[in-house]
């Protein structure tokens, strides 16, 4: 017979819950408040660097889904080697194998994660749509240099506030 | 305050004599306090639904509802609008009359009990000299509404839930009434106003064991968690209101919180010296104490997991019932020993008796609360 049957366990439990009353809630009110994601996130888009890319199509071969298509042609008038890349991000599983395979660091995972689209044809992206920009930030996946510039991941908001009108 | 001139007179009649200082006499008094009682119940239920969800959220490190209005205060109104605009579904094979009547039968007794609750000195609809007996008798009637809902729904889960409700009410009525009886012995009156007037020291100190038994027993009787077996959603869907929707469901929801309000009000009146307190006006003290008791209810609900049905019965019959009998006998001896009123140092004796009784009686629970030992 353990001596704990006189209700001390209930008192202990009550103490635990009353402690929670005086700490900050963990709720993040998502659209208004956002946490910093991992600096090495494989977010749901690809970022392509048209300067470094040679059109070798290693990424296309590494892709287990076959979501990346690369077509190259020689533009003799401009004396240029044209690369035509098309990524069906609807098929992309964000595995990051293309980024690991690329010998020239010309393709990166994206840092953002809010890239849902309203139309099916919008998820097939090519060439200029894949370039880095203000809204298409490169993730630090496989590239520590970029990771060092991104904000550190947060798991909790410092102080949760109520919704501001 | 307005009625204290006649508050302590007239033992013979059920209703106190007409107040002379009210123009028109009894009827104005009746009208005003009927409106006050109904408004009190409805507004406090609205507040309690909001308060419970917020407090439970914060106790679980969440925020709770905060979208509708500042800090989510109009959430209960939104819930009411939602319930009102929903389709009212009656099952095809249901006992239609019983199914329709059940929410009203469950709600009316709870509302009736607030007739005898003093909001201030003598400020109540009817200062019955058998007030607490009235409360005990009427409040148990809402179990009938739950049984009607369980039967009328023609649903096995509803019926199981209804039977559990009856079992809980029948079992827990006894320790609850016995603990009320020891309070009545100490106060020397059954009128709730006189019980409040008798509490120079709050009875939670003079009768700690009775308070504990009343708190556990009454929260089991009104099916608050951890004793919410008749709404055990992991076992029997939603219990007796599985087949209810729209406003009829909202009425059951109202009953649930009105009963929680009733429990808070009764504990305030019986054990926390009701409307009495320094500085602030009596009605404010009353509200503060009611909300504080309800916070404890929410706190317990957040903390404890649900008990099994056999544990529920074992707690009532093997623990609360004998302890309440012993407490009643001890209180009776104290009242006999000091006929002019039990002196306040006895509260230390009573607290000591409570500690000894609880620890020693809990040692008798050697069967592991119904856990079956499997022989190899």
For residues B140 and B318, give the distance between their C-alpha atoms in angstroms, rounded to a whole number. Answer: 22
Q: Is B128 helix (H, G, I), strand (E, B) or coil?
A: coil
Assess B302–A contact: CB distance below 8 Å, yes or no. Answer: yes
Tell me whether 0.85 is exceeded by the ipTM: no
* pLDDT at residue B368 is higher than 80: no
Q: What is the dihedral of CA B88, B90, B95, B98, to 10 degrees?
A: -20
* pLDDT at residue B314 is higher than 70: yes
B336 or B344: which leads in pLDDT = B336
Q: SS in 3 state form for B84-109?
A: HCCCCCCCCCCCHHHHHHHHHHHHHH
* pLDDT band per the 50, 70, 90 thresholds, residue B11: very low
CB contacts of A25 in chain B (<8 Å) are 57-58, 61-63
CB B121 within 8 A of CB B4: yes
> Does B61 sit within 8 Å of A162, measured CB to CB?
no
> Does B61 sit within 8 Å of A6, measured CB to CB?
no
CB B198 within 8 A of CB B188: yes
B69 or B106: which leads in pLDDT = B106
For the stretch A112-122, pLDDT in tens is 888 888 988 88
B117 or B127: which leads in pLDDT = B117
Residue A165 Cα distances to B29, B50, B67, B239, angstroms: 45, 20, 10, 40
Q: Where are the alpha helices (DSSP H) in B90-245?
A: 96-113, 131-139, 142-152, 156-187, 192-198, 203-206, 208-221
**What average pLDDT score do residues B141-156 get?**
85
B255 or B14: which leads in pLDDT = B255
* pLDDT at residue B14 is higher than 50: no
For the stretch B265-301, pLDDT in tens is 989 988 888 788 788 888 888 889 999 999 999 999 8
Assess A23–B contact: CB distance below 8 Å, yes or no. Answer: yes
Assess A164–B contact: CB distance below 8 Å, yes or no. Answer: no
Please name the member of B61, B304, B362 whose beta carbon is closest to the beta carbon of A20.
B61
Which pLDDT does position A62 carry in this prediction? 92
CB contacts of A17 in chain B (<8 Å) are 59-60, 299, 302-303
Q: Which of B12-21, B126-135, B300-309 has the lowest mean pLDDT?
A: B12-21
What are the residue boundaries of the structural domains of chain B, listed by start?
A: 78-363
Architecture of the domain delimited by A46-149: 2-Layer Sandwich (3.30)
* pLDDT at residue B16 is higher than 60: no
Most B CBs within 10 Å: which of A15, A17, A18, A24, as the mutation test of the B interface? Answer: A17
Q: Which of B118-127, B248-257, B308-317 has the highest mean pLDDT?
A: B248-257
* pLDDT at residue B366 is higher than 80: no
What are the residue boundaries of the structural domains of chain A, listed by start?
A: 46-149
Closest CA to B117 of B294, B288, B268, B291: B268
* pLDDT at residue A50 is higher than 80: yes
B15 or A26: which leads in pLDDT = A26
For residues B77 and B131, give the distance between their C-alpha atoms in angstroms, rounded to a whole number. Answer: 33
> Does A7 sit within 8 Å of B60, measured CB to CB?
no
**What average pLDDT score do residues A146-157 get?**
81
A43 or A96: which leads in pLDDT = A96
* pLDDT at residue A165 is higher than 50: no
Residues with Cβ within 8 Å of residue B347, at least 6 apart in sequence: B201, B205, B206, B208
* pLDDT band per the 50, 70, 90 thresholds, residue B22: low
- Taking CA atoms, what residue in B is nearest to A164? B70
Residue length, chain B? Answer: 376
Please name the member of A6, A16, A27 whose beta carbon is closest to the beta carbon of B62.
A27
* pLDDT at residue B234 is higher than 80: no
Q: Which of A113-117, B12-16, B63-67 has the lowest mean pLDDT?
A: B12-16
Chain mean pLDDT for chain A? 83
Assess B71–A contact: CB distance below 8 Å, yes or no. Answer: yes
**Global pTM value:** 0.81
DSSP state of B304: P
Residue B197, Cβ neighbours under 10 Å: how many?
20
**What average pLDDT score do residues B303-329 get?**
85
């Amino acid at each position: 017979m353990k001596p704990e049957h006189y209700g001390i366990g209930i008192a202990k439990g009550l103490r635990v819950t009353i402690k929670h009353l005086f700490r900050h809630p963990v709720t993040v009110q998502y659209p208004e408040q956002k946490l910093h994601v991992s600096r090495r996130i494989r977010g749901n888009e690809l970022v392509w660097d048209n300067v470094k890319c040679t059109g070798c199509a290693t990424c296309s071969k590494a892709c287990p889904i076959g979501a990346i298509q690369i077509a190259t042609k020689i533009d003799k008038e401009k004396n240029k080697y044209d690369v035509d890349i098309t990524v069906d991000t609807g098929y992309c599983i964000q595995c990051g194998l293309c980024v690991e395979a690329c010998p020239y660091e010309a393709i990166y995972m994206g840092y953002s994660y809010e890239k849902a689209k309203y139309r099916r044809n919008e998820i097939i992206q090519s060439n200029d749509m894949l370039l880095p920009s203000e809204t298409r930030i490169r993730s630090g996946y496989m590239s520590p240099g970029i990771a060092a510039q991104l904000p550190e991941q947060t798991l909790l908001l410092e102080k949760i506030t109520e919704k501001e009108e | 305050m307005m009625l204290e001139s006649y508050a302590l007179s007239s033992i013979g009649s059920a209703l106190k004599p007409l107040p002379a200082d009210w123009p028109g006499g009894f009827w104005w008094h009746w009208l005003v306090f009927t409106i006050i009682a109904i408004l009190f119940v409805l507004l406090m239920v609205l507040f309690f639904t909001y308060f419970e969800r917020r407090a439970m959220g914060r106790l679980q490190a969440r925020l709770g509802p905060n979208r509708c209005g500042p800090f989510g205060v109009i959430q209960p109104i939104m819930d009411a609008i939602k319930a009102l605009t929903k389709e009212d579904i009656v099952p095809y094979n249901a006992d239609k009359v019983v199914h329709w009547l059940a929410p009203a039968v469950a709600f009316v007794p709870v509302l009736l009990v607030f007739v005898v609750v003093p909001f201030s000195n003598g400020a109540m609809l009817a200062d019955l000299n058998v007030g607490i007996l009235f409360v005990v008798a009427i409040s148990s009637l809402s179990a009938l509404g739950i049984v009607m809902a369980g039967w009328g729904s023609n649903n096995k889960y509803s019926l199981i839930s209804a039977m559990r409700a009856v079992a809980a009410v029948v079992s827990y009525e006894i320790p609850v009434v016995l603990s009320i009886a020891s309070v009545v012995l100490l106060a020397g009156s059954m009128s709730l106003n006189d019980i409040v007037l008798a509490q120079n020291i709050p009875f939670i100190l003079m009768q700690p064991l009775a308070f504990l038994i009343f708190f556990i027993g009454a929260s089991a009787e009104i099916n608050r968690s951890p004793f919410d077996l008749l709404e055990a959603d992991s076992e029997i869907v939603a219990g007796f209101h599985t087949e209810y929707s729209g406003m009829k469901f909202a009425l059951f929801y109202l009953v649930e919180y009105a009963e929680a309000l009733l429990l808070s009000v009764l504990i305030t009146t019986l054990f926390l010296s009701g409307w009495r307190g320094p500085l602030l006006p009596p009605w404010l003290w009353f509200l503060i104490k009611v909300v504080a008791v309800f916070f404890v209810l929410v706190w317990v609900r957040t903390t404890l997991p649900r008990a099994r049905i056999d544990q529920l019965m074992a707690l009532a019959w093997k623990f609360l019932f004998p302890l309440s009998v012993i407490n009643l006998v001890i209180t009776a001896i104290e009242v006999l020993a000091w006929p002019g009123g039990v002196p306040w140092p006895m509260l230390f004796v009573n607290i000591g008796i409570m500690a000894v009784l609880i620890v020693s009686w809990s040692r008798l629970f050697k069967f592991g609360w119904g856990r079956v030992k499997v022989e190899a």
